[in-house]
Amino acid sequence: MRLAGRTVGVCLTGSHCTLSEALEAVEALAAEGAELVGILSTSVSSTTTRFGHPELWRQRLKQITGREPLTSIPEVEPIGPNRSLDVLVIIPCTGNTMAKLANGITDGPVTMAAKAHLRNGRPVVLAISTNDGLGLNASNLAKLLVTKNVYFVPFGQDNPESKPNSLVARLSLTVDAVVAALEGRQLQPMLIERWRDQ
């Protein structure tokens, strides 16, 4: 098991259409032996959508991790001083979250967890899911691509004909990306033609 003995923070943010698939990737991290700490963004912990109720996501994450997810800034702030995580994964990472990370905005549990974790020089892995990754958010993506200790689950355009600015990570590569990040390297190739497995 490639992640045995490792503590992995897993943050869910509000790309609600991607949450079910993201939780499958979280299960894959658990299957590799990781001890998991779940963190929910304010959007995921408070917004009901056609994809599910907040309690659904909280319960599913709790079932996988074996503990209640963290949902507030005071709950996640000790991640920094306690050095409690080996790696932090934001899955899915929305364009909104990506923009905040790129510009140092810490206004919720996920961005605070990332800030607290990065202060220790430890890896953060982003599994992006955004409709404007090649639009207004492209500049934020560029900032994060050159940010020390930030790594990406390989990503590509999920629907270039209908949504040419949209980028989505291939979540089936999450474990490989996390293992690579723990070794201090970006999983390659990072840019893929299509994110969906054919």
Nearest Cα to Cα of residue 87 among 169, 184, 7: 7
* Whole-number percent of the chain with pLDDT over 90: 93
DSSP string, 158-190: S-TTT-TT-EEE-GGGHHHHHHHHHTT---S--
Average pLDDT over residues 129-137: 96
Assess contact for 23 and 91: CB atoms under 8 A.
no
pLDDT for 166: 95
* Whole-number percent of the chain with pLDDT over 70: 97
196 has pLDDT over 70: no
Min mean pLDDT across 49-53, 63-67, 151-155, 163-167 is at 49-53
pLDDT for 198: 44
User: What 3-state DSSP class applies to 13?
Assistant: coil
197 has pLDDT over 60: no
Distance (Å, rounded) from C-alpha 74 to C-alpha 108? 10
Q: Quick one: which H or E segment has residue 16?
A: none
pLDDT digits (tens, 9 = 90+) for 100-116: 999 999 999 999 999 99
pLDDT digits (tens, 9 = 90+) for 35-93: 999 999 999 999 999 989 999 999 999 999 999 999 999 999 999 999 999 999 999 99
Contacts of 149 (CB under 8 A, 6+ apart): 118, 121, 122, 123, 124
DSSP string, 116-169: HHHTTT--EEEEEEETTTTTTTHHHHHHHHTSTTEEE--EE-S-TTT-TT-EEE
Average pLDDT over residues 186-191: 97
Average pLDDT over residues 140-158: 97
pLDDT for 193: 75
Distance (Å, rounded) from C-alpha 165 to C-alpha 137? 9
